[in-house]
Amino acid sequence: MHPRIASTGLAGEDTGAPRDTHGPGLTDTHCHLNDPAFEGRVAAVLARAREAGVGQVIVPGWDAASSRRALALAAEFPAILPAVGLHPWMVAAEADTRWVAVLAAESRAVAIGEIGLDGAVEAPLAWQLPVFRAQLALARERDLPVLLHCRAAWEPLLACLREVPGVRGVLHAFNGSVEVLRECLAMGLYVAFGGGVTRPNNRRAQQAAIAAPADRLLLETDAPSIGQDGVPPAAVEPRHVVPVLRRLAALRGEDAAALGARIVENVRALLNHRP
């Protein structure tokens, strides 16, 4: 189907009564539909998501261009909730975050992200830290949640978060230990699980997914980066949060529909928070 035709149809469905009556359904809380891999496919991907019961997708930026792309997509597709931010992987190329503040002030961004720390990339943490801190401060100032990336940098990440009491947000693709999980929960953060928990050998993610209380759980795909059990990364789309939910429910010994309803409430609390 031609993307423009699909896009018109989807926008019509999205603004209709069913959405208001039944809510958006499940949310993919982390998916890069602004990645070139989704160029020309966004309308079809969102239509398939809606059919599967996934009515919202949070789309984080990783630099200025991808953040603007997330905002542009959100203007076209009501199902897309945009976030703006500078990813730690981009810090070597770009360290100025003033554009994040400008976009957050001028747009309908629902979060600051994707931001965080990564101890396994070339840019040293000394470069990443001021960029991360500036964006945390901005999120606190604007009372927006943060979408957090962390790899091999849990101690400095937790230290930065402690400097900003009241910061809200999500640890995306959570891969930390149960001890780290407890610290994050104590700060009021949510934890999002994706393809990792669907892979039988990913014990660490599964242990965290079992240990996390249901009122802090979120679902994500991180498409197009992360594969799922039986689904290669390039084929993963927002509708694939449904197998993640099933896997989470099975691991926790809970009913998938009940857990899904709880997670819908968690998304609402994350996005509609007002002090």
Shorter beta-carbon distance to Zn ion: residue 194 or 243: 194
Closest CB 167 distance from Zn ion, rounded Å? 19
Closer residue to Zn ion, CB minimum distance, 79 or 171: 171
Which residue lies nearer to Zn ion by CB, 14 or 222?
Answer: 222
Query: x/- site string to Zn ion, residues 78 to 117, per CB under 5 A?
Result: ------------------------------------x---
Residue of minimal CB distance from Zn ion?
Answer: 114
**CB closer to Zn ion, 6 vs 90:** 90
Tell the smallest beta-carbon distance from residue 145 to Zn ion (Å): 15
Write out the chain in H/E/C secondary structure.
CCHHHHHHHHHHHHCCHHHHHHCCEEEECCCCCCCHHHCCCHHHHHHHHHHCCEEEEEEECCCHHHHHHHHHHHHHCCCEEEEECCCHHHCCCCCCCHHHHHHHHHCCCCEEEEEEEECCCCCCHHHHHHHHHHHHHHHHHHCCCEEEEEECCHHHHHHHHHCCCCCCEEECCCCCCHHHHHHHHHCCCEEEECHHHHCCCCHHHHHHHHHCCHHHEEECCCCCCCCECCECHHHCCHHHHHHHHHHHHHHHCCCHHHHHHHHHHHHHHHHHCCC
Interactions with Zn ion, residue window 113-142 (CB under 5 A): 114
Give the interface size with Zn ion as a residue count (CB under 5 A). Answer: 1
Min dist CB 17 to Zn ion, Å, is: 33
If the CB atoms of residues 16 and 36 are measured against Zn ion, the closer one turns out to be 36
Q: What is the nearest approach in angstroms of Zn ion to the Cβ of residue 21?
A: 32
Least separation in angstroms between CB 62 and Zn ion:
7
Smallest distance, Zn ion to C-beta of residue 49, A: 17
Q: Which is nearer to Zn ion, 14 or 114 (CB)?
A: 114
- Amino acid found at 189: L
Site for Zn ion, rule CB under 5 A: 114
